[in-house]
Chains A and B, each alone.
Chain A
Amino acid sequence: MSRAPAAAALTAICATTLIALLPATAAAKGLGGLGPHEAKDAKSSHAAFEDGDCSICHKRADAKNPGPVRTPINDVCFECHDDFPDMMKKFKVQHGALKKGCTGCHNPHNSPEVHLLRMGMPGLCLRCHDGIQKKMNLPVKHNALTDGAACANCHEPHASNVEKLLKRLPFDLCVNCHSKDKMTDESGNKLTNIKDLLDKNKVHHSPVADKDCSACHTPHGGEKFRLLIESYPAKFYSGFSAGNYALCFGCHDEEAMRAPETTSATNFRHGKRNLHYLHVNKAERGRTCRACHEVHASKQAFQLRDGVPYGKKGWILKMNFSKNPNGGTCAKTCHAAKTYVNRKGK
């Protein structure tokens, strides 16, 4: 008798026995139990299980009564998966779930999910990370959490050198997807090809230069458009309040918009007359940051735009800004040419 049918027969006995013996409660909770699934349902199978000899991991070879595992579960796993302890030492950020045991996430026999996972992602992860579920329930969704590898699109499941178990810094992960021309949001609005934008515009906003997209965007889901973490006016005009600009004031000093006169809060001033205040701080038709500034990258200093879409037809209103030794000039834009001087000339 050849070995292959005998091994398959043993596997089937193991599967049937264990399925019958293991409690149903884990399965009832939505998390697959640790027993083997029917072979026809398995998308992934553990070679140690497929070999049909339970004593590889358990105390006995008896498929009807294999007994407990020989040693604590992680020790059993690491006998073959011996690269893991080294990896754990190499990477500083480690998944707390590992301490609870590999079988917290993996079925050691087989699974209807890939990688022997007891449940698909994001469901598996959300069983512990219920705060993330709350964010996913918010109105603005991020498809990265449900498409493709779900959580594993961005996170390492075991260990990483980046906080929050990210595979790379946020920017490197985001640009992986946000580098396409035809990407749209749920409403069909086109999303910017960020890679293309940054290639063409070399003056990068600090968080972008620092690869910290999460400085402004929440990756799991949010209430504000474009997954922004705080409020930021969506239009050209807005009444001024600190709340409207909470995103920007997370880093920038709101004093630059509040003080009618200053020599320290901003260099966009004519003498001590604060021109940020003049443009922005109005009860109704304050010019929002986006009127003059690009949020990701620009060709000009200070993240100044070349032009801004204005009006319903999106006509481009040019800024025609030029930097002078002692200040700057905006010409033929919202107003006729005006020059500001913020330091003494040579």
Chain B
Amino acid sequence: MRHHHPLARTVVITAIALVFGAWSESPAAGSRTPPPGTTLDNVRLPLLAGGARDLLGQKTIDALIFLRPDQDHSKTSVARIAEVEKELGNKVRWTAVVGTRFKKDQIDKLLAGSGLAAPVTLDKDGAYRNRLGVVLEPMVVIVSRDHKLVGLQAYHQVNYAPLLRARLRHALGEIDDAELARIVDPPANGKAMNKEDAKAHRYIKLAARYLAQGKHDKAVAAARKAITHDASIALAHVLEGEGLAAGGDCKSALAAFERALAIDARDARAIAGKKKCAKGA
């Protein structure tokens, strides 16, 4: 297999020279990467499997995967990248880029069993990698449909696939900035309820259970425990009322229903309970 055709070599050298001229020399904070929004010239690189490939497609989102076969993170990352590749299907155009200092068998070994379908291109002496300012690998470089640099996604031990997926989906316009931010920097779970609310909620459930079993006294006791934790929940008063009414104490039940209606004047169960007790009182 020949992947160092003289013509291909000329194309590569010319393209890289164009790229060298086109990009600005303004790395930020020590980074060699051009800033997001920089237009990248297209480069044609030889393929490991033979032939050549333009690194950037036509009106596609491109993901350029820079890998190093002798590196553990590259080995770990390819399977994770393959997951995202599979999920996003043809919406993203994937290309792997490996330096020519690595042999074919090293590259094959890296990719074996990973599930990564992206074609592998060969970057002579890492020149294109260097020009893009990629100093770490594995690195996924994301490029927009009009060949502008969107950003770089380095490997992470935690949340790598979700991050990569989110950045690509953001580039595709499928998620907005807020959603991307939630994935890049996930908030803590938080509590659905504060402690007192949670206790009140549990006692309400207990009261409902007792009521269903016909254990009216216990239902009233549980409802009252809910009320001690949070008296502002109409349902707690409703359950107290229903328990009292079922036990024959309509006078006390009416008071409980009134308390529920004071919280929520449209509570259907409180209205029904009050009506029933008023008839029977």
Q: Which residues of A are interface residues toward B (Cβ below 8 A)?
A: 3, 47-48, 51, 53, 55-56, 79-83, 86-87, 91-92, 156, 159-164, 166-170, 203, 206, 210-212, 214-215, 249-253, 255, 263-265, 267, 300-304, 343
Contact = CB atoms under 8 A, between A and B. Distances in A.
A211 B205 contact: no
Interface of B: 25, 29-30, 32, 68, 71-73, 101, 125-127, 129-130, 135-137, 154-159, 162, 185-189, 192-193, 199, 201-203, 205-206, 209-210, 213, 215, 217-218, 221-222, 225
A61 to B, nearest CB: 9
A251 B189 contact: no
21 contacts: A56-B209, A79-B205, A80-B202, A80-B205, A81-B202, A82-B205, A83-B192, A87-B192, A160-B189, A167-B188, A169-B158, A170-B157, A211-B185, A212-B156, A250-B71, A250-B72, A252-B135, A264-B127, A264-B130, A303-B30, A304-B30
Enumerate the 9 nearest inter-chain pairs by beta-carbon distance, A residue then B residue, closest first. A301-B30, A80-B205, A264-B130, A214-B157, A302-B30, A251-B136, A264-B126, A161-B186, A83-B192
A288 B40 CA distance: 36
Contacts of A302: 30
A324 to B, nearest CB: 12
Given A162-B159, A169-B159, A212-B157, A83 B193 contact: yes
B188 A168 contact: yes
A170 B206 contact: no
A215 B138 CA distance: 13
A81 B192 CA distance: 11
Given A167-B188, A255-B126, A265-B126, 20 more contacts: A47-B199, A47-B225, A51-B222, A79-B205, A80-B209, A81-B202, A83-B201, A159-B189, A161-B189, A203-B29, A203-B30, A210-B154, A212-B158, A215-B155, A249-B71, A250-B73, A251-B73, A301-B29, A301-B30, A343-B25
Contacts of B125: 263-264
Contacts of A264: 125-127, 129-130
A80 B51 CA distance: 64
A79 B202 contact: no
Most A CB contacts (10 A, CB to CB) among B25, B129, B209, B217 go to: B209
Given A87-B192, A251-B137, A252-B136, A3 B221 contact: yes
Contacts of B199: 47
Contacts of A160: 189
B158 A47 contact: no
Contacts of A267: 32
B235 to A, nearest CB: 13
Nearest to A246: B72
A159 B188 CA distance: 11
Contacts of B215: 53
Given A169-B185, A267-B32, A80 B206 contact: yes
B159 A163 contact: yes
A115 to B, nearest CB: 12
A315 B199 CA distance: 60
B206 to A, nearest CB: 6
A87 to B, nearest CB: 7
B136 A210 contact: no
Given A161-B186, A168-B186, A169-B158, A253 B213 contact: no
Nearest to B152: A206
Contacts of A211: 185
Given A80-B206, A212-B158, A255-B101, A162 B186 contact: yes
Nearest to B128: A264
B158 A163 contact: yes
A3 B192 contact: no
Contacts of B162: 92, 163
A253 B29 CA distance: 20
A300 B30 CA distance: 8
Most A CB contacts (10 A, CB to CB) among B185, B188, B213, B218 go to: B188
B135 A55 contact: no
B158 A167 contact: no
Contacts of B203: 47
Nearest to B123: A264
A170 B155 CA distance: 14
Contacts of B129: 264
B192 A169 contact: no
A160 B127 CA distance: 41
A53 B218 contact: yes
Nearest to A161: B186
Contacts of A164: 158
Given A251-B73, A252-B136, A167 B202 contact: no
Contacts of A48: 206
Nearest to B198: A83
A53 B68 CA distance: 64
Contacts of A47: 199, 202-203, 206, 225
A249 B205 CA distance: 57
B155 A251 contact: yes
Contacts of B136: 206, 251-252
